[in-house]
Amino acid sequence: MSDISVLIVDDEPQLVRSLVFALKGEGIAARPAHTGAEGLAEIERQVPDLVLLDQRLPDMQGVQVLERLRRDQIAVPVVMISAHGDTRAAVQAVKAGASDYLTKPFELDDLIHVIRSTLERERLSAEVSYHRKTVVGDDGVVGDSPVMAELAATITRIAASSAARVLLLGESGTGKGLIARSIHNRSARAKAPFVEVNCASLPEQLIEAELFGAEKGAYTGAHQRRVGLVALADGGTLFLDEIGEMPPTLQAKLLHFLENGNYRSIGAPQGRTADVRVIAATNRDLAEDVKAGRFREDLFYRLNVIQLRLPPLRERSGDVLPLARHFACRLAVESGCAPVRLEAGAERLLEAYSWPGNVRELKNLMERFTILYPGQTITPMELPPNLLRPGADNGVATGSSLSDSLDFSERVLLTEALARAGGQKGRAAELLGISRHSFKRRLQRLGLTSENRSRG
């Protein structure tokens, strides 16, 4: 039984009969229609997976059929067929919503490739849409764990409030920039600018000019007037990332601006005002920095009007797999390939890992998989070594923990090789590059008998 159904709408009976027969040999069930009206009736009777639509039909143009489908909101991919010389019309049809086009005469291999690639793009698009609806909230927060549901609700409340100062706390890689932008996008300031500055990336002598601006000639190298980020963010949101790295000399000037909205550009004869919501973020313990004299106490309390703590990924392990699938789909779209999938064994290892680099580390891993194994299924064999240790992080295991980690890694590799070899020990040994005798000895040492494996 064919998995793919295709409707061919073309007024050349012999061509249609040939295509129906040829596609059947490729496992594709095709049915014919010879006019536009007949094609629309067939689609209404049963929507196929794909429509091959001739550009010129006895009763109407192919693009008119396409327009009817779009008007009636019938979501079926359409591949236009055009005679030689009608390419421009086919391209216009693609712009009107057709998925692709073929020019007569065409080879069967080209037709098969277009059909399968078009359906794969549709499947990928549907999968991305599904994950966006089920995993990515309107606020951009990814995850469906209780802690993330509460975080999303808090973001909504903050965005709708008049709070002009928000402090985001969390480890590196937890998504503080995403949360800041989500607050902005859901607020009444959404149409105004969202301006971001990383306080750790700018030299101390330039950060004041970057924030508040500078007049021409105010300092060596100031060859023209610089408009500061505060002025650019007027009416919107200023996101100060890594606020804990701000030089002490600038902290006093920032405090002055936060207190009354007034600031003065370097070299300016008079001050200016700006209405800005300031969202600051840090992975440091600012309370400890205040005690140590590294951060101004009054600035800390001024920033800390609304505090939001972002949980590390290890505290919401239930979001690991939804996040992984989300990144797989998003990266596949960006790369123009099918998304990678995770085998059950790989999924368990990802959930057991402690993710010291948080969401950023997971995203980087999925990006690596997308580049190296596009469209493939990821097994434990493709995972980096640090993910093969239970409870692993970036540290180094020692003593008995190292032995346990090695045993665990070996157990994963042996059982994975057996699964890929269909239970054939000889083939599994070949996959691992060891002898059959050595493979059996390792199974026995780890207690991986046939009975144990079937229970596992």
Per-residue pLDDT tens over the stretch 102-120? 888 888 888 988 898 888 7
Q: Average of pLDDT values for 117-131?
A: 68
**Structural domains in the chain plus CATH codes:** 4-131 (3.40.50.2300), 146-309 (3.40.50.300), 315-375 (1.10.8.60), 396-456 (1.10.10.60)
Which of 173-182, 323-332, 378-387 has the lowest average pLDDT?
378-387
- 14 token code pair: 């012999």
CA distance 450 to 414: 13
User: Is the pLDDT confidence value at 406 over 70?
Assistant: no
Which of 133-147, 233-247, 266-280 has the lowest average pLDDT?
133-147
Percent of the chain with pLDDT over 70: 86
Cα–Cα nearest to 320, from 201, 145, 193, 66: 145
pLDDT score for 138 = 43
User: Is the pLDDT confidence value at 295 over 70?
Assistant: yes
pLDDT score for 398 = 41
Q: Average of pLDDT values for 251-279?
A: 90
pLDDT score for 399 = 42
pTM of the model: 0.58
User: Is the pLDDT confidence value at 74 over 90?
Assistant: no
Residue 396: pLDDT band (50, 70, 90) is very low
| CA-based end-to-end distance of the chain | 34
User: Is the pLDDT confidence value at 205 over 80?
Assistant: no
3-class SS string, the chain: CCCEEEEEECCCHHHHHHHHHHHHCCCEEEEEECCHHHHHHHHHHCCCCEEEEECECCCCEHHHHHHHHHHCCCCCCEEEEECCCCHHHHHHHHHCCCCEEEECCCCHHHHHHHHHHHHHHHHHHHHHHHHHHHCECCCCCECCCHHHHHHHHHHHHHHHCCCCEEEEECCCCCCHHHHHHHHHHCCCCCCCCEEEEECCCCCHHHHHHHHHCECCCCCCCCCCCECCHHHHCCCCEEEEECHHHCCHHHHHHHHHHHHHCEECCECCCCCEECCCEEEEEECCCHHHHHHCCCCCHHHHHHHCCEEEECCCHHHHHHHHHHHHHHHHHHHHHHHCCCCCEECHHHHHHHHHCCCCCHHHHHHHHHHHHHHHCCCCEECHHHCCHHHHCCCCCCCCCCHHHHHHHHHHHHHHHHHHHHHHCCCCHHHHHHHHCCCHHHHHHHHHHCCCCHHHHHHC
Buried b (16+ CB within 10 A) or exposed e, 354-382: bbbbbbeebbebbbebbeeeeeeebbbbb
Per-residue pLDDT tens over the stretch 245-254? 998 888 999 9
pLDDT score for 438 = 77
Residue 452: pLDDT band (50, 70, 90) is very low
Per-residue pLDDT tens over the stretch 11-32? 898 999 999 999 988 889 999 9
Per-residue pLDDT tens over the stretch 129-167? 544 444 444 445 666 678 888 888 888 899 999 999 999
pLDDT score for 89 = 72
Mean pLDDT of the chain: 82
Name 108's Cβ contacts closer than 8 Å, sequence gap at least 6.
Answer: 22
Q: Average of pLDDT values for 50-57?
A: 91
pLDDT score for 290 = 93
